[in-house]
Amino acid sequence: MAQTLSSRRHSVLLAHSATPATLSPAPCASCWPNRGRSGVMKSAPRRNKLDHYAIITFPLTTEPAMKKIGHSNILVFIVDVQTNKHQIKQAVKKLYDIDMAKVNTLNQA
């Protein structure tokens, strides 16, 4: 009687444990061929799609933009929508060899 009570208590403890015992057989190694690899294998490193030439699309040469260039020394560029101010500043510095004081952006759809 005492042994059945202890075995019953042991089965109750196993039933309420945090990690239940699995009854399914162990999976075969061919089910998950990529398991155990540290990273995904790639044939070539990923290319940066937003290089300096893709960031700056073209300089804007409308009448108000040309007036800003002449009067207040402001250059106007059309840039990619996904870029931020740091990327715009680096691209202008590399392409045009200009040191910029600040970057103002305007999102237009």
Compute the radius of gyration of the chain from its Cα atoms. 32
Is the predicted pLDDT of residue 71 greater than 70, yes or no? yes
CA-nearest of 6, 90, 25, 21 to 51 is 90
CB neighbour burial string for 54-91, b if at least 16 within 10 angstroms, e if fewer: ebbeeeeeeeeeeeeeeeeeeeebebeeebeeebbbeb
Would you kindly state where each structural domain of the chain is located, as residue ranges? 57-96
Summarize the confidence of residues 20-33 as an average pLDDT: 65
The residue ranking higher by pLDDT, 84 or 3, is 84
Instruction: Report pTM.
Output: 0.57
